[in-house]
Amino acid sequence: MRLTEYFLPTLKETPSEAQIVSHRLMLRAGMIHQAAAGVYSWLPLGFRVLKKVEQIVREEQDAAGAQELLMPTIQSADLWRESGRYEDYGKEMLRIRDRHDREMLYGPTNEELIADIFRTHIKSYRNLPKLLYHIQWKFRDEVRPRFGVMRGREFLMKDTYSFDVDYAGARRSYNKMFIAYLKTFARLGLKTIPMKAETGPIGGDLSHEFIILADTGESRVFCHKDLLAFDVLGTEVDYAADLQPMVDQWTSLYAATDDMHDAAEEKALGDRLVTARGIEVGHIFYFGTKYSKPMNATVTTVEGGSVPVEMGSYGIGVSRLVGAIIEAFHDDKGIIWPEPVAPFNVGLVNLRPDDRACAEAGDSLYRRLRRAGVEVLYDDRDERAGAKFADMELIGLPWQVVVGPRGVKAGTAELKRRATGGSEELSLDAVIDRLAG
Ligand code: 5CA
């Protein structure tokens, strides 16, 4: 993509309404545009990142055996009356009336809707287990939406729902999601702490929050050192196998937030304890028959009886993750994208597009990189070098290639790593080899 054609409205000034670094950087890097309080449009650069995060979340769900479907954002109030949550949910739910005065709502979550799909189409234990998920916008009318996409009113969530005939099966599904979450966040370059959690309005008695570490995170967490040392990406996971030992290994290690930690336990653990700051990016729940019973979602059993199906639900804040990744990876100049979610892998900076030799060298590098399948953003603008460098640092692409008159004469360009600032002068062929390799 040529920057002269790209829609990238970067800002020099720090927007005064933004209180946290990810919100400031997302506005300054031209990633989002506020549409209403807690509601955002995703501009091209931000949208590319959102799609990449979404795709990694999707791939790990698919690997765990979950099947993707798509439910609507608008739901009927009647379904929520069946579960009893229509009254309970309170003011966070955005309630809507259609032209016939029927009560609808903008979904804050989908337990009722998926239970309705299930009870209509699945009747027998023979069709179980099932893991179904969708990636869809949700609306929660938060009293004080803030921190940009980290706490929006409209936000993109991946929510999976599990259906099993008994508790043992439900535990197996829970464990699959537990491990899939560790894999997902590790692929995004994040350090994750699974932590036993409250279940809140979703209900049930077994739940874990997934907290990713970021110095600027909202919650303070305490955890055992070994929790951070596991290499989950290097561990081959067979989702058909019993994952309980692996889950036990993680959950046996101590992890707690500011308000729930146990002082005695903390003291006993002494120097094996790490304190850090973190952000909740995922939350999983086992709630058994809380929805299936009142909604009459039953299955026949092998003995010929009929039981309400055992359910769990598993959420990942996809749009929140974009902000959380920035909270974890930035410096005073801007964002430092981990490669798997970078909007482009390479920023090609042409210092003198007005100089013929420079223009030719830059254009040719751009073409060759694209031909090699590299996602490259080409700064071919007629701008001061300082402004170009500042924009590149701000938008944080993992690699920068700088083409200038001196290098062009020698047949070289500068290859620079955003994360370390380290750079080297390479021949143009070597630049292509390095980036396309
Ligand atoms: N039905 C369950 C699991 S599918 C559920 O709704 N869980 S949740 O309430 O914990 O939300 C799941 C994830 O969505 C959270 O872990 C968080 O990452 C994200 N999330 C929740 N509220 C917001 C919000 N206001 N803005 C951005 N992300 C949010």
Taking only the tens place, the pLDDT of each residue in 192-248 is: 999 988 877 777 779 999 999 998 888 888 888 888 888 888 889 999 999 999 999
**Opening angle at CA 405, ends 402 and 406, nearest 5:** 90
Whole-number Cα distances in Å, 101 to 90, 93, 105, 293, 362:
20, 18, 12, 29, 61
Residue type, 398: P
In the listed set 284, 311, 335, which residue is the last one of a domain according to the structure?
335
282 lines ligand 1 (CB under 6 A): yes
73 plus 150 within the same structural domain: yes
CA distance 30 to 154: 19
217 plus 361 within the same structural domain: no
Closest protein CA for atom 24 of ligand 1: 151
Ligand 1 mean position, distance from CA 138 (Å): 9
256 plus 121 within the same structural domain: yes
> Domain range spanning residue 392?
344-436
pLDDT per residue, tens digit, the chain (437 aa), is 999 999 999 998 888 889 999 999 999 999 999 999 999 999 999 999 999 999 999 999 999 999 999 999 999 999 999 999 999 999 999 999 999 999 999 999 999 999 999 999 999 999 999 999 999 999 999 998 989 999 999 999 999 999 999 999 999 999 999 999 999 999 999 999 999 888 777 777 799 999 999 988 888 888 888 888 888 888 899 999 999 999 998 888 888 888 666 777 777 778 888 888 999 999 999 999 999 999 999 999 999 999 999 999 999 999 999 999 999 999 999 999 999 999 999 999 999 999 999 999 999 999 999 999 999 999 999 999 999 999 999 999 999 999 999 999 999 999 999 999 999 999 999 999 999 97
Q: Which atom of ligand 1 is nearest to the CA of 145?
A: 25
202 lines ligand 1 (CB under 6 A): yes
Nearest to 133 by CA among 111, 164, 151: 111
Residue 9 lies in a domain: no
Residue 5's Cα: distance from chain center in Å? 29
CATH number of the domain at 388, please. 3.40.50.800
Residue 15 lies in a domain: no
Closest protein CA for atom 20 of ligand 1: 317
Ligand 1 mean position, distance from CA 283 (Å): 7
Closest protein CA for atom 3 of ligand 1: 315
CA distance 124 to 301: 7
Q: Residue 343: exposed, middle, or buried by beta-carbon count in 10 A (0-12, 13-18, 19+)?
A: buried
Residue 379 lies in a domain: yes
317 lines ligand 1 (CB under 6 A): yes
63 plus 150 within the same structural domain: yes
312 lines ligand 1 (CB under 6 A): no
Q: Which of 32, 131, 135, 320 to mutate to test the pocket of ligand 1 (most atoms within 8 A of CB)?
A: 320
98 plus 233 within the same structural domain: yes
pLDDT tens sequence across 150-161: 999 999 999 999
Whole-number Cα distances in Å, 280 to 21, 219, 317, 387:
17, 8, 9, 35
250 lines ligand 1 (CB under 6 A): no
104 plus 204 within the same structural domain: yes
Nearest to 131 by CA among 274, 353, 311: 311
315 plus 356 within the same structural domain: no
Cβ neighbors of 398 (< 8 A, separation 6 or more) are 336, 337, 338, 339, 342, 345, 346, 417, 418, 419
In the listed set 304, 335, 366, which residue is the last one of a domain according to the structure?
335
Q: Is 305 left (phi over 0), alpha (psi -120 to 50) or beta?
A: beta
248 plus 163 within the same structural domain: yes
219, 277 in Cβ contact below 8 A? yes
In the listed set 309, 335, 361, which residue is the last one of a domain according to the structure?
335
Residue 293 lies in a domain: yes
170, 139 in Cβ contact below 8 A? no
Ligand 1 mean position, distance from CA 109 (Å): 8
Residue 324 lies in a domain: yes
Residue 11 lies in a domain: no
Angle subtended by helix axes 44-63 and 318-328, to nearest 10: 110
158 lines ligand 1 (CB under 6 A): no
CA distance 194 to 180: 12
How many structural domains comprise the chain?
2
146 plus 164 within the same structural domain: yes
Nearest to 342 by CA among 52, 26, 32: 52
Closest protein CA for atom 5 of ligand 1: 315
26 plus 166 within the same structural domain: yes
Pairing type for strands 273-288 and 94-97 reads: unpaired
61 lines ligand 1 (CB under 6 A): no
End-to-end CA, the chain: 20
Cβ neighbors of 412 (< 8 A, separation 6 or more) are 425, 426, 427, 428
CATH number of the domain at 98, please. 3.30.930.10
Output the pTM of the full model: 0.96
142 lines ligand 1 (CB under 6 A): yes
CA distance 107 to 94: 8
* Helix spans in 31-108 (H): 44-63, 77-83, 85-88
Closest protein CA for atom 6 of ligand 1: 109
295 plus 409 within the same structural domain: no
Angle subtended by helix axes 167-187 and 44-63, to nearest 10: 140
45, 335 in Cβ contact below 8 A? no
138 lines ligand 1 (CB under 6 A): no
152 lines ligand 1 (CB under 6 A): yes
Residue 91 lies in a domain: yes
Residue 6 lies in a domain: no
278 plus 416 within the same structural domain: no
Q: Which atom of ligand 1 is nearest to the CA of 157?
A: 14
Ligand 1 mean position, distance from CA 415 (Å): 40
Ligand 1 mean position, distance from CA 268 (Å): 33
Q: Which atom of ligand 1 is nearest to the CA of 161?
A: 4
CA distance 308 to 256: 33
Residue with tokens 């590319």: 48
Closest protein CA for atom 2 of ligand 1: 315
